[in-house]
Copies of this chain bind each other. A is one copy, B any other.
Amino acid sequence: MTDLLSKLTVLKALFEKDKWSLRELSWRTGISEERLMEVINELSGNYVVQRDEGLVAIASSDNPAKIKPWGWNIYHELIVGSTQVYARGLVPWSIVVAEHQLHGYGRHKRMWESNLGGIWATAVISLPADKSPYLNIAIPLTLQRVLRRIGVKAWIKWPNDIVVEERKLGGTLIEGVALQDSMTVYIGVGINVNNDIGIPEATSLKRIVGLTPRNRVLAPFIGYLTRVTKLVSEPSELVDEYLSNLITLNRVIVAETIDGIIEGKAVEVDEYGSLIVSTKNGVEVKLEPWRVIRLRHGD
């Protein structure tokens, strides 16, 4: 963990200036050049680090502060408690990207591991309140599209996860505050890009396609969000695309809900993102995303 502090200290400097000589970086951080080399070597496993003629840099394409999406405010932070909490202080069309979260969380406030090298971000958008339920399908779909575009065979696992070969690559989280007809929505995303992963059920882009500059994912994702209002104006098209990329469809599922366990076959998803499950005794049950704590494929 002291190691994490060293990494964060060096990262801070690397994000501060485009290129550093080792000597200047040593002066900036107060870390000896020898130790600095070790830290940079370790960081190279989780960031696209460029080393050229004695200079060291984090690739622009891996630096979230280098994206300048039109109409958006970007906040790039080294450490935050949670990007979801941070985002509460931001106006719509802002996004915060953090290198490290102290208490990152996912759905149902479950702890979300946020090691160095991933994308931990929350975007704030605003849209008509009656359109906001469609985000349940639009957001995971958007992330899945972005990943497909960079050649990753990504699927949606209901309700809001992205999986590759049945392993979790990322997740999305949607929280909102309504104000009259308008809804401010806090869209959290966690994507395992180049971060090291402690759990066998998860995977990362690093494992699948190798070290990946994060802006290759982040920039098109923000691009889709810019057009989100248009996207949710055709919910039936969204549902079709969502279903055709839903790995959960036609699978046997076991859902842990706030009212107990439900088992059955996933047969449909409606435009609000609810899953229709056909249970053993022939009854169809509708599972709203917020009711489900955990879902696993039973086959």
> Which of A35, A84, A85, A98 has the largest count of B CB atoms less than 10 A from its CB?
A85
Indicate whether A27 sits within 8 Å of B86 (C-beta atoms), given known contacts A4-B5, A5-B5.
yes
Q: Would you give the shortest CB distance from A42 to chain B, in whole angstroms?
A: 14
Query: How far does the alpha carbon of A24 sit from the alpha carbon of B90 in the complex, in Å?
Result: 11
Assuming the A-B contacts A9-B80, A9-B102, A79-B9, are A85 and B27 also in contact, with contact meaning beta carbons closer than 8 angstroms in the complex? yes
Contact yes or no, B2 A101, CB < 8 A? no
Is A29 an interface residue, CB under 8 A from the partner? yes
- Which residues of B are found within 8 Å of A82, using beta-carbon distances? 30-32
Interface string of A98-135 (1 = CB under 8 A from B): 10111100000000000000000000000000000000
Residues of B within 8 A of A90 (CB): 27
Contact of A81 among B30, B81, B100 (CB under 8 A): B30
Interface residues on A, range: 20 to 34
Report how far A122 CA is from B1 CA in the complex, Å. Answer: 26
Chain A residues numbered 50-88 whose CB sits less than 8 Å from any CB in chain B: 77, 79-86, 88
> Which chain B residues border A83 with CB–CB below 8 Å?
30
Known: A5-B102, A103-B35. A29 touches B80 (CB 8 A): yes
Query: Is A28 part of the binding interface, using a Cβ–Cβ cutoff of 8 Å?
Result: yes
Which of B5, B85, B102 is the one whose CB lies under 8 Å from A26?
B85
A226 within 8 A of B: no
Docked-complex contact A2 and B89, CB < 8 angstroms? no
Given contacts A27-B86, A81-B31, A85-B31, contact A102 B1 (CB under 8 A): no
Q: Are B30 and A98 in contact (CB under 8 A)?
A: yes
A85 touching B9, Cβ below 8 Å: no
In the complex, whether A6 has a CB less than 8 A from a CB of chain B is: yes
- Whether the Cβ atoms of B4 and A89 lie closer than 8 Å is no
Contact A101 B30 (CB under 8 A): yes
A219-252 CB contact bits vs B (8 Å, 1 = yes)?
A: 0000000000000000000000000000000000
Q: In the complex, what's the smallest C-beta–C-beta distance from A43 to chain B, in angstroms?
A: 15
Whether A80 lies near B30 (C-beta < 8 A) is yes
Cβ-closest chain B residue relative to A84: B30
Task: Please give me the residue from chain B that is nearest to A26 by CB atom.
Answer: B85
A-B contacts, 14 of them at CB < 8 A, read: A1-B5, A2-B102, A4-B5, A6-B81, A6-B102, A9-B80, A9-B81, A29-B81, A30-B83, A30-B101, A31-B80, A31-B81, A31-B103, A32-B81
Given A27-B86, A31-B103, A32-B85; 8 other pairs, CB 8 A cutoff: A1-B1, A5-B5, A6-B81, A9-B80, A30-B83, A30-B98, A30-B102, A32-B82
Sorted nearest first, the 10 A-B pairs with minimum C-beta distance are A27-B89, A30-B80, A31-B81, A30-B86, A1-B1, A30-B81, A30-B85, A9-B79, A30-B82, A6-B102
